[in-house]
Chains A and B, each alone.
Chain A
């Protein structure tokens, strides 16, 4: 029984990390109505950038993150403003294809620049754990990831509700024309939104990089997790993403508890698929306008 409780704890904590991974995709999907297929790869890019900085300056990964955040913001801003914005109105295929293309370019450039060997961001936290009882413990690194994930989501929730920029973004997303009439430059607003999404991706990159190993082709794995989180919880909803993360993490670990580790990923997919069929807008999502 206790082993099962441990599984539940780990699943929940993992969910927090997954939420942090998916929030960027959720934002862009909910706000710009764009599926950023390169989301996972951009996150891994952050992990690699953090790796470079820790390697060159000997800082610990969380400090290096501080330097990487502005870089990722700029990258996101540029990608949205000069590439993605241009394909926004063109229907469904072009944004998908462009994002797909970016994903492939990123993966293979990382492959060329860094070796394909697995990397990880070193931190002593990765092997520590916080014991609760004799047989239960909380893996420290999962716990940190969980806290950070929840913090990021709460921060975003506050941002969107109480700051001008946040409300401008929501306005642009709700009604592009009306927002423009109110003096909001929607193109730049979207770019800023993407920049913010990239900040979350950078943070997620730090979490993932310290918790698990990564290599250039890891991106799509996390993209699927982001999809899971976003679809289960509902695009554009902060709380939804958090809940989606929990459900996904639990589904994976509980599934592997009962059916074996080989099927771990499968259970996540199963839940995702079921949600797609019965309630594609997710638990907290709003019903899509006929796009």
Chain B
């Protein structure tokens, strides 16, 4: 009605009307164009590809970077072997398809791991997921796989913190159990050094820390050990005075727990400062990797014991390359000049399991893949793998101790193998310090 009198309000030469017109047309055409775009925007069924796509969420950075470091080197090598003769035979394609791995950095963050896993499943439409490296990574990734129905090969995270996410349908996991593997190692290892059997707990507030603490608190008293528990603490706790006081007061001679590296470094230094010197210190997770040990500084790491799930001394061979554990470690050191670390074996084993499963399944249909996974019975570079009805397989565990080394600043010696005498010892256990 007032159109005749309306003066176009011009700013920068654009009238209001024209702006609205153009944006709405633009938006509409964008949406319509969206429906015309192929591939990632259009709704599509299972991807028709000329390769097998594996999803791999790796903690390349963050507090778990020590676990993620040997990737993608180890993964690439393993995949290269699988693809050497063209790959794995898939019926739907009628020929061998090569394996391709898409690796994303989770930054050691559980939420990010879940997001990236969802992205790999929905955007990249991966065929199979490989989930490794501590409950913080494996738990969210397997939960996401369960949610969207994608087969998942899990490794390198203790069984107990993983089980609550079950019962699992799509995820198959292999590692050791705190109660059935780590506990026997400890009570087998500890009596070799004379102590008063008083154990002090040191644990973070997370699945690893709580899981370990719970199991040991339940089982230790039956063996005549007294447990002193100052309570779990969050990441980033700086001052351990009250814990150390409690341990000193109760005359703790065995320190045990599961902590992240940075918290343990703080704690151990303060122990030294406050004159708390246990005869045995068995700490899971914190001192798995050489850089972590070096971060302690000085001679502080001498004599600390930790769990050993894989080493160059393990007498297993790879089903892919026929290499021994020692061969694989040497290859790794030669390639990038760093000392071996435990996850190397498990990263390699993931691809062994993958190849074995697909060789038997011969298909990318997800429901068939999990059937094939369930039937797995093979020997890998980390030991034999055979999943039980709860979808997990236990791998062997022995005890190790950090000693000042010759070839490298710190070396991990195997000092206890009670449950697995086939894994040779390379040193004798000594008290801390």
A residues near B, CB below 8 A? 3, 6-7, 10, 14, 111, 115-120, 122, 124, 126-129, 137, 139-141, 212-213, 215, 218, 221, 252-253, 256-257, 260-262, 264-265
Which of B61, B232, B248 interacts with A111 by CB under 8 Å?
Answer: B61
Q: Is the CB of B239 within 8 A of A264?
A: yes
Contacts of A122 in B (CB 8 A): 297-298
Contacts of A7 in B (CB 8 A): 241-242, 245
A208 to B182, CA, bound (A): 35
Contacts of B234 in A (CB 8 A): 262, 265
A115 to B292, CA, bound (A): 12
Q: Is the CB of A117 within 8 A of B66?
A: yes
Q: Is the CB of B273 within 8 A of A252?
A: no
Q: Is the CB of B242 within 8 A of A120?
A: no
Nearest to A135 among chain B residues (CB) is B248
Q: Is the CB of A14 within 8 A of B239?
A: yes
Contacts of B295 in A (CB 8 A): 117-120, 213
Query: How distant is A116 from chain B, measured CB to nearest CB, in Å?
Result: 5
A14 to B237, CA, bound (A): 13
B65 at the interface (CB under 8 A from A): yes
Nearest to A138 among chain B residues (CB) is B273
B266 at the interface (CB under 8 A from A): yes
Which of B61, B237, B239 interacts with A10 by CB under 8 Å?
Answer: B239
Contacts of B241 in A (CB 8 A): 6-7, 10, 253, 256-257
Q: Is the CB of A261 within 8 A of B230?
A: yes
Query: How distant is A154 from chain B, measured CB to nearest CB, in Å?
Result: 25
Q: Is the CB of A127 within 8 A of B298?
A: yes
Query: How distant is A32 from chain B, measured CB to nearest CB, in Å?
Result: 29
Contacts of A253 in B (CB 8 A): 239, 241-242
Q: Is the CB of A213 within 8 A of B262?
A: yes
Which of B230, B231, B269 interacts with A127 by CB under 8 Å?
Answer: B269
Contacts of A141 in B (CB 8 A): 273
Contacts A/B (CB < 8 Å), 14 sampled: A7-B245, A115-B65, A117-B295, A122-B298, A124-B298, A126-B297, A127-B300, A253-B241, A257-B245, A260-B231, A261-B232, A261-B233, A264-B239, A265-B234
Contacts of A262 in B (CB 8 A): 205, 231-234
A265 to B61, CA, bound (A): 26
The A interface, classified by DSSP as helix, strand, loop or mixed, is: helix
A119 to B65, CA, bound (A): 13
Contact mask for chain B residues 261-300; partner A; CB cutoff 8 A; 1 contact, 0 none: 1100110011011110000000000000001100101101
Contacts of B16 in A (CB 8 A): none
Which residues, 189 to 236 on B, are CB-close (under 8 Å) to A? 205, 230-234, 236
Nearest to B296 among chain A residues (CB) is A120
Contacts of B62 in A (CB 8 A): 116
Contact mask for chain B residues 305-332; partner A; CB cutoff 8 A; 1 contact, 0 none: 0000000000000000000000000000
Q: Is the CB of A116 within 8 A of B273?
A: no
Q: Is the CB of A139 within 8 A of B233?
A: no
B426 at the interface (CB under 8 A from A): no
Contacts of A118 in B (CB 8 A): 63, 261-262, 265, 295
Contacts of A137 in B (CB 8 A): 273-275
Are A120 and B273 also in contact (CB < 8 A) when A127-B298, A264-B237 are? no
Are A257 and B270 also in contact (CB < 8 A) when A118-B261, A264-B233, A265-B237 are? no
20 new A-B contacts, CB < 8 A, other than A126-B269, A213-B266, A262-B231, are A6-B241, A6-B245, A6-B274, A14-B239, A111-B61, A115-B65, A116-B62, A117-B66, A117-B291, A118-B295, A119-B295, A129-B274, A137-B273, A137-B274, A213-B262, A256-B239, A262-B205, A262-B232, A262-B233, A265-B237
Q: Is the CB of A212 within 8 A of B233?
A: no
Q: Is the CB of A140 within 8 A of B291?
A: no
Contacts of A265 in B (CB 8 A): 234, 236-237
Q: Is the CB of B63 within 8 A of A128?
A: no
A252 to B236, CA, bound (A): 14
B238 at the interface (CB under 8 A from A): yes
Are A261 and B243 also in contact (CB < 8 A) when A120-B265, A127-B269, A139-B274 are? yes
Nearest to A141 among chain B residues (CB) is B273
Which of A115, A117, A221, A256 interacts with B236 by CB under 8 Å?
Answer: A221
Nearest to B271 among chain A residues (CB) is A127
Q: Is the CB of B236 within 8 A of A218?
A: yes
| 7 nearest CB pairs, A to B | A118-B262, A260-B231, A127-B272, A213-B262, A261-B233, A256-B242, A139-B273
Contacts of B65 in A (CB 8 A): 115-117
B43 at the interface (CB under 8 A from A): no
B393 at the interface (CB under 8 A from A): no
B240 at the interface (CB under 8 A from A): yes
A260 to B243, CA, bound (A): 8
Q: Is the CB of B240 within 8 A of A116?
A: no
A122 to B265, CA, bound (A): 12
A221 to B235, CA, bound (A): 11
Query: How distant is A40 from chain B, measured CB to nearest CB, in Å?
Result: 12
Q: Is the CB of A213 within 8 A of B275?
A: no
Nearest to A215 among chain B residues (CB) is B262
Q: Is the CB of B237 within 8 A of A140?
A: no
Contacts of A119 in B (CB 8 A): 295
Query: How distant is B242 from chain A, measured CB to nearest CB, in Å?
Result: 4
Contacts of B136 in A (CB 8 A): none
